[in-house]
Amino acid sequence: MTAVSTLQEQQAISDPSTFSKEDLNKWFDQRFEEKQKELAANHTPAMSIIATRGSMDWAYPPFILASTAAALGWDVSIFFTFYGLGLLKKDMNLKVSPLGNPAMPMKMPMGPKWLQDMNMNIPNVLMGNMPGFESLATAMMKKTTQNKGIASPEELRTLCIEADVKLIACQMTVDMFGSNQDEFIDEVEEWVGAASFLPTAQKSDICLFI
């Protein structure tokens, strides 16, 4: 910016009548653009996640998204409500439920390659009603994640804690299920209701319901 333009800006501010309306509009547009760039450069993205499910397969999305965003330097909050509250327990003891997962692929995590590559199209009604199938599906998923080098939900939760992800428990759900706060990890930052969390979600750049 030249000395002349700086002087012109000072004159425009002290005596707007010295500038035409067109000149003033250009000056304000330029200043506004500069301010927007400054705000964007200094802005820390924020993400809010509402976690509502507590099975092993549904534990991955909130923890993976939260830990990844936190690693990028974002401010991240997860609100655990209803069955998602189980993801905050000291002992998660998560299982995979085939019931309600009609598109869930079933592949063997061990054995010869041709067997591992086979997609077993087992009817959902059969998976959901076969005794012991939930334990089998859980064991298969745990083995698959181990084979692929994927962190467990417990490990991902620890990553979130280390990355300062804010873990928030729904107090209404705690009361409804008759839970005790001693059942949950010490890193839970808040025990609040939806009315307390929604303002945080409103201010977030990204809000996800999982």
pLDDT digits (tens, 9 = 90+) for 112-155: 775 566 566 555 555 556 656 677 777 778 887 887 888 999 99
Domain span at residue 165 reads 46-209
User: Are 83 and 179 found together in one domain?
Assistant: yes
Beta carbons within 8 Å of 104's beta carbon, 6+ residues apart: 57, 96, 98, 124, 127, 137
Beta carbons within 8 Å of 18's beta carbon, 6+ residues apart: 11, 12
User: Are 92 and 131 found together in one domain?
Assistant: yes
Q: Are 46 and 205 in contact (CB under 8 A)?
A: yes
pLDDT digits (tens, 9 = 90+) for 16-46: 566 677 777 777 777 777 776 766 666 789 9
CATH number at residue 130: 3.40.1260.10
User: Are 61 and 31 found together in one domain?
Assistant: no
Mean pLDDT for 78-99 is 88
